[in-house]
Structure 1
Amino acid sequence: MEEQRIAKAHKLVVNNRKTSMVTGVLDVLSFDLNEILLETEQGMLMVKGTDLHVNRLSVEKGEVDLSGNIDSIAYSSSTPAEKAGENFLSRLFR
């Protein structure tokens, strides 16, 4: 029987494509001036843009405040470890 992960609360608020507040953050995996990758309760969240900054990070509360010129926001349901395993298996069975 498969176990289903019960997702906790997650919220994403974007103001005028300049600032963003994210809750339900588990980890900040990477960030630079053009891309921020967050692990959230709802999956991986990638924010792309220019001059991006992580202004406030509270891992205990699971909150992150971002600023910069936000161009795109995309979710992915799998974690990086799962993706690596899938890529390995898919290459193995080609």
Structure 2
Amino acid sequence: MEANQKLELVDRKHLVLEGVRRVESFDEKEITLDTAMGFLTLKGEGLHITHLDLQKGNLSAEGRFTGFWFTEAKGRGRGKGTGLMKRLLK
């Protein structure tokens, strides 16, 4: 898979994402993903994954999306929280 990422959001309800490597965690309020360009956290309400194809790197999700947070690919360690823990333990 190439190191490309594409995110499409329609009406804050329907999300299509390309470049997904792995789903780190998910529930109805948060989805955390390892993508081709780093980690991505999606926040919202009533979130659910409607399609996932890790071979092609595609993910579709629905719900009410309220925020997106990107974490750079450098230091790709164990996923969510790695950067924060390093800063706290310095």
- TM-score of Structure 1 vs Structure 2, range by shorter chain: 0.7 to 0.9
Amino acid at match of 1:22: L
Q: Which has the larger radius of gyration?
A: 1
Unaligned runs of 5+ in 2: none
Aligned residue in 2 for 1:10: 5
- TM-score, structure 2 length as denominator? 0.83
Q: Which amino acid in the other structure matches residue 48 of structure 2?
A: H
Q: How does 1:6-85 map to 2 (within 5 A)?
A: 8-78=3-73, 79-81=76-78, 84=82
CA distance in structure 1 between the aligned counterparts of 2:6 and 2:65, rounded to whole angstroms: 17
Runs of 4+ in structure 1 displaced over 6 angstroms?
none
Distance (whole Å) between structure 2 residues aligned to residue 87 and residue 66 of structure 1? 29
Note the aligned Cα RMSD (angstroms): 2.2
Q: Give 1:64 shift.
A: 0.2
- Residue matched to 1:87: 85
Q: Do the aligned partners of residues 33 and 80 (structure 1) sit closer, same or farther apart at CA in structure 2, a change above 3 Å counting?
A: farther
- Taking only the aligned residue pairs, the percentage that are identical comes to 29
State the one-letter code of the partner of 1:16. D
